[in-house]
């Protein structure tokens, strides 16, 4: 029986690339997103290639919608082996203009959702005595531009949540890791300028497929000695000194 992965935020960008890479590695892929139009388009594309995919509408900021996602996934595929908590919103608002409602929306989508969905999924992974979770954080957990308080806090929280979950769920044989991407270009890669690429020690801007391949690697049962870890994928940018002289 093929394993099943849930990918949140799968209709666009990085989540779409993650869904594609798992589908081509013979997973049943659950595409969970609020964007129904692109979610169903991706489902149809994968099915037409002979892959297994099901779009399920889920607003990860809503606890009831998370419960429904897990229920519907089990109805469709019966097991859950891998969870990729990728859905996120990046909004940058001046601190004096950041409302409590907006703070809650960003934190509930980017951080609380990963806790709730993992908690909901763990009892089902436990039945198969294995499982793997990846949380998609950001290098903005450890470095900032201005006006990123809520986003940075949510991603810093995800890094901390990851090691806490890895220790809590060790008894169920579940690994939990996170990936902190830097600049991953989800638009037209050809529109990028030379300077965009050249400033990176790796001499290029990241692509969604970079993150997708790392998700596959971290969730491979053979790699279960990597646990509670944060994998930075930023072409070396957080290792580069930027003092001006
Ligand atoms: P994206 O292109 O905006 O895709 C995110 C997807 O998540 C969209 O389909 C979006 O739907 C969906 N989504 C938003 N809120 C949701 C909710 N409440 N419930 C379910 N789905 C929801 O973003 P991305 O650039 O691929 O980023 C994916 C993840 O990587 C995010 O967690 C982001 O913080 C992280 N990340 C990205 C980068 C980067 O450079 N791209 C760098 C570091 C970290 P709508 O389009 O309808 O809103």
Catalytic residue among 26, 77, 151, 189: 151
Task: Supply the residue whose CA is at minimum distance from atom 33 of ligand 1.
Answer: 88
**Nearest-CA residue for atom 46 of ligand 1:** 35
Within 13 Å, how many C-alpha atoms sit on residue 154's CB side? 31
Is residue 217 within 6 Å of ligand 1 at its C-beta?
A: no
Cα–Cα distance for residue pair 57/39, rounded to 1 Å: 8
For 86-91, what is the mean pLDDT?
A: 98
Q: Which two tokens stand for residue 81?
A: 């082996």
61 lines ligand 1 (CB under 6 A): yes
Contact at 8 Å (CB) between 176 and 118? Answer: yes
Global pTM reads: 0.98
pLDDT reported for residue 207 = 98
Class of domain 4-239 as given by CATH: alpha beta
Least confident of 35-39, 68-72, 161-165, 240-244: 240-244
The residue ranges of every structural domain in the chain are: 4-239
pLDDT of residue 237: 98
pLDDT digits (tens, 9 = 90+) for 5-39: 999 999 999 999 999 999 999 999 999 999 999 99
Q: How far apart are CA 63 and CA 131, in angstroms?
A: 22
Is 90 exceeded by the pLDDT of residue 230? yes
- Residue 9 token pair: 């935020």
pLDDT for 21 equals: 98
Start-to-end CA distance of the chain, whole Å, equals 59
The region that residue 204 occupies, defined by phi over 0 for left and psi between -120 and 50 for alpha, beta otherwise, is beta
- Of 89, 139, 85, 133, which Cα lies nearest the Cα of 109? 89
Q: Is 186 in the pocket of ligand 1 (CB under 6 A)?
A: yes
Residue 136 has pLDDT above 90, yes or no: yes
């Amino acid at each position: 029986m093929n394993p099943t992965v849930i990918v949140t935020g799968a209709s666009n960008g990085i989540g779409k690339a993650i869904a594609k890479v798992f589908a081509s590695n013979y997973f049943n892929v659950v595409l969970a997103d609020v964007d129904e139009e692109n979610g169903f388009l991706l489902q149809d594309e994968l099915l037409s290639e002979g892959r297994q995919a099901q779009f399920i509408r889920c607003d990860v900021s809503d606890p009831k919608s998370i419960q429904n996602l897990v229920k519907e996934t089990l109805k469709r595929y019966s097991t859950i082996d891998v969870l990729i908590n990728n859905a996120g919103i990046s909004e940058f608002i001046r601190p004096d203009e950041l409302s409590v409602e907006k703070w809650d929306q960003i934190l509930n989508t980017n951080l609380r959702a990963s806790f709730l969905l993992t908690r909901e999924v763990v009892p089902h992974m436990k039945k198969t005595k294995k499982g793997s979770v990846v949380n998609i954080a950001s290098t903005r957990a450890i470095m900032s531009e201005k006006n990123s308080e809520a986003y940075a806090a949510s991603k810093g929280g995800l890094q901390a949540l990851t090691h806490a979950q890895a220790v809590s769920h060790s008894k169920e044989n579940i690994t939990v890791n996170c990936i902190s991407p830097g600049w991953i270009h989800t638009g037209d890669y050809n529109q990028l300028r030379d300077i965009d690429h050249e400033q990176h020690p790796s001499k290029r801007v990241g692509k969604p497929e970079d993150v997708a391949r790392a998700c596959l690697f971290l969730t491979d049962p053979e790699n279960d000695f990597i646990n509670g870890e944060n994998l930075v994928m930023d072409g070396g940018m957080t290792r580069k000194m930027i003092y001006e002289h």
